[in-house]
Amino acid sequence: MKHEFHNSTREQVKGYLAEALAIVAELEISDDLREPAFVQAVGLLSNKVVQHERVVPGTGLALPNGAPGL
């Protein structure tokens, strides 16, 4: 069975777009660069880092992904 999940809610997307518009307007970017600057601003604002932790069995300790086990 296939499940699809959105990374952002409608409200988050609206926030990213509004913030990107504000950034581009604030920087007074030339007309020929406004569109690519807006696209980059949205991408940077909406970018997320996902960090996985693993629990060491029997200890209850959570280690960041990539940390050596006990």
When the pLDDT of each residue in the chain is averaged and rounded to a whole number, the result is 84
Extents of the domains making up the chain: 10-64
Annotate 37-62 with DSSP letters as a single string. Answer: HHHHHHHHHH------EEEETTTTEE
**pLDDT above 80 for 56:** no
Q: How far is CA 56 from the centre of its chain?
A: 28
**pLDDT above 70 for 13:** yes
**pLDDT above 60 for 67:** no
Instruction: Tabulate helix, strand, coil % of the chain (nearest 5).
Output: 50, 10, 40
- Rounded CA separation 45/38 (Å): 11
5 band by pLDDT with thresholds 50, 70 and 90: confident
Question: Against a cut of 0.75, is the pTM above it?
Answer: no
**pLDDT above 90 for 43:** yes
